[in-house]
Chains A and B, each alone.
Chain A
């Protein structure tokens, strides 16, 4: 299912562009955004901005030519561009945790587990997107190729979900301060919902692998993909909100 992989590669930089647009809306003074790059030696926000822009350029440079040059992805230049973009994609996956860990005054965000959690959340949601859109590509390929390809995605998904659950459990069980514990307590319900979603996705992916036929595979993949995306958003949103509100609740 080469075209599903090519779509995933092309969607990567596009989604990062959309994410950056959200940040510009948040900043409310986009014409001052050049200042973002003034603190490369000290700030993860500056480094992250540069990493994301380089990823967009290299990622699109890797993905777009593959739509009209048939051997581009396997060529030397294509592999070189793709490898550099891959390193930057891995850095972006970690960076979202690093940027929060700079906020030393907020105990929940300064956790050393957060960059690892951010990394596995990125992998789970990225895979979730591929699983969600995979049925659109089934008609292009034979059933054996679909089952083989979805089998690889299923095995990757199981590995990522287990890693995410282990990291999330470490994040929750840390007890560095009363504020940290209160922050975790304030997001207990959404985190439980996300964990249930991830466990359900784990079960469905295992079921799809066990059955090994195209139609059930498509159903389990699509539902697992939606659960992984929803769980990933809940985790990111809850952690951001709890960093702000739980310490305020303690003060009040």
Chain B
């Protein structure tokens, strides 16, 4: 049970951090980029 829990932890939480990080990064870069064009 414990090892099953640990295996799951790595994948889904990494995916949450990965997707959330891409979203935050893409938003940051795109809004900075737009501000340069103003």
Kindly state the interface size class of chain B when it binds its partner. 20 to 34
Asked if A8 and B26 make an inter-chain contact with CB atoms under 8 angstroms apart, the answer reads yes
Q: Per a CB cutoff under 8 Å, which of B10, B28, B30, B37 touches A93?
A: B28
A125 closest partner in B (C-beta): B22
- Interfacial residues of chain B within 1-38, with CB under 8 A of chain A in the complex: 6, 8-34, 36-38
Q: Is A101 located at the chain interface by the 8 A CB criterion?
A: no
How far, in angstroms, from A152 to B6 measured CA to CA in the complex? 42
Residues of A within 8 A of B34 (CB): 2, 5-6, 9, 73, 82
Chain A residue total in the interface (Cβ 8 A): 58
How far, in angstroms, from A92 to B38 measured CA to CA in the complex? 25
Asked if A19 and B36 make an inter-chain contact with CB atoms under 8 angstroms apart, the answer reads no
Residues of A within 8 A of B22 (CB): 15, 122, 125-126, 128-129, 229, 232
A52 closest partner in B (C-beta): B20
- Could you say which of A22-30, A32-40, A135-143 contacts chain B? A22-30
- Interfacial residues of chain A within 84-102, with CB under 8 A of chain B in the complex: 85-86, 89-90, 92-93, 96
* Least distance between A251 CB and chain B CB atoms (Å): 13
Query: Are A22 and B15 CB-contacts (below 8 A) given A14-B23, A16-B24, A118-B21?
Result: yes
Q: Is A233 located at the chain interface by the 8 A CB criterion?
A: yes
Asked if B28 and A233 make an inter-chain contact with CB atoms under 8 angstroms apart, the answer reads no
Residues of A within 8 A of B (CB): 2, 4-9, 11-16, 18-20, 22-23, 25-26, 52, 55, 59, 62, 73-74, 82, 85-86, 89-90, 92-93, 96, 118, 121-130, 149, 152-153, 156, 229, 232-233, 236-237, 240-241, 244-245
